[in-house]
């Protein structure tokens, strides 16, 4: 039975139970469906069937929204965001985790471990994107609450703090070298463009970064694939 048919069957079952006065059975049906669906989705992802896996994660989120359970919706959005991150779809991941964070802030408050877990997951996704100006305030926000988190999230938070500090030191070192180098050198222009793009030791300025990249290319710099920087 495919996912669409399972979903329709689920809705029909709940409707029938409600109309016949057997609403007490509905949670059992939901739990059985959710368990089977989670196993199917996990198996599909492990076997590389990402179309089926994504559909399963999305349908699971739709079920939570159908049940109007805000906490469950928050959890399903986080799970979907983590799935997108595993597929290197970081833009989709950011959107899902941000939505989960907004819900959780209203449900649990801004400093609750459930909320801070989402803050750290969001910071990790921005870090993977190289969007450091977004990462730093999130990490600073999470720092106080990190000791209260579950082991996996705490380790991720501590690792992010450590890596961000190391990256910041590296960028500062590169910036110092640039200041003592010939600014007309192609590799110097490219490195400076990277620093403006990533915004850790100089204020982020994408327009200036792009101009420096183009100037570096015109001056003979070759390795500018996708104009993305790999200074780390």
Whether 207 is in a domain gets the answer yes
Same-domain pairing of 154 and 217? no
Q: For 149, which DSSP code? A: S
pLDDT digits (tens, 9 = 90+) for 143-164: 777 777 777 777 877 777 787 7
Same-domain pairing of 125 and 39? yes
Tokens of 86: 């595993």
Dihedral sign, Cα of residue 214, residue 216, residue 221, residue 224: negative
Environment class of 172 (CB within 10 Å of its CB; exposed 0-12, middle 13-18, buried 19+): middle
Cα–Cα distance for residue pair 86/97, rounded to 1 Å: 13
Residue with tokens 């400093």: 111
Least confidently predicted of 6-15, 61-70, 110-119: 6-15
Same-domain pairing of 90 and 162? yes
Based on the structure, what is the number of domains in the chain?
Answer: 2
* Number of Cβ within a 10 Å radius of residue 202: 17
Whether 176 is in a domain gets the answer no
Cα–Cα distance for residue pair 83/77, rounded to 1 Å: 10
Same-domain pairing of 161 and 185? no
Whether 20 is in a domain gets the answer yes
With a pLDDT cut of 70, the percent of the chain lying above it is: 79
Whether 173 is in a domain gets the answer no
pTM: 0.64
Which of 64-78, 157-171, 187-201, 205-219 ranks highest by mean pLDDT?
64-78
Cα–Cα distance for residue pair 178/185, rounded to 1 Å: 10
The pLDDT score that the predictor gives to residue 178 is 86
Whether 172 is in a domain gets the answer no
**Segments forming the whole domain that contains residue 11:** 3-167
The pLDDT score that the predictor gives to residue 37 is 57
Whether 174 is in a domain gets the answer no
For residue 35, what is the domain's CATH number?
1.25.40.10
Same-domain pairing of 19 and 95? yes
Whether 57 is in a domain gets the answer yes
The pLDDT score that the predictor gives to residue 34 is 52
Tokens of 15: 């409707």
**Cβ atoms of residues 97 and 118 within 8 Å:** yes
pLDDT digits (tens, 9 = 90+) for 104-129: 999 999 989 899 889 988 988 888 88
Same-domain pairing of 129 and 33? yes
């Amino acid at each position: 039975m495919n996912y669409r048919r399972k979903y329709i069957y689920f809705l029909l079952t709940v409707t029938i139970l409600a109309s016949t006065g057997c609403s007490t059975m509905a949670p059992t049906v939901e739990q059985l469906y959710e368990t089977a669906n989670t196993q199917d989705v996990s198996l599909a992802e492990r076997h590389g069937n990402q179309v089926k896996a994504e559909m399963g994660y999305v349908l699971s989120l739709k079920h939570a929204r159908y049940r109007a359970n805000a906490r469950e919706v928050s959890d399903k959005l986080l799970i979907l965001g983590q799935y997108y991150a595993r597929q290197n779809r970081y833009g989709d991941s950011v959107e899902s985790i941000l939505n989960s964070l907004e819900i959780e802030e209203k449900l649990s408050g801004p400093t609750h471990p459930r909320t801070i877990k989402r803050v750290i997951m969001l910071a990790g996704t921005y870090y993977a994107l190289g969007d450091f100006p977004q990462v730093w305030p999130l990490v600073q926000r999470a720092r106080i609450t990190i000791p209260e988190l579950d082991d996996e999230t705490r380790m991720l938070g501590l690792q992010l703090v450590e890596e961000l500090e190391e990256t910041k030191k590296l960028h500062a070192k590169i910036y110092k070298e640039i200041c003592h180098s010939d600014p007309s050198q192609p590799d110097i222009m490219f490195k400076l463009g990277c620093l403006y793009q990533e915004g850790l030791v100089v204020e982020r300025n994408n327009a200036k970064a792009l101009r420096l990249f183009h100037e570096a290319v015109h001056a003979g710099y070759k390795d500018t694939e996708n104009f993305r920087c790999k200074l780390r």
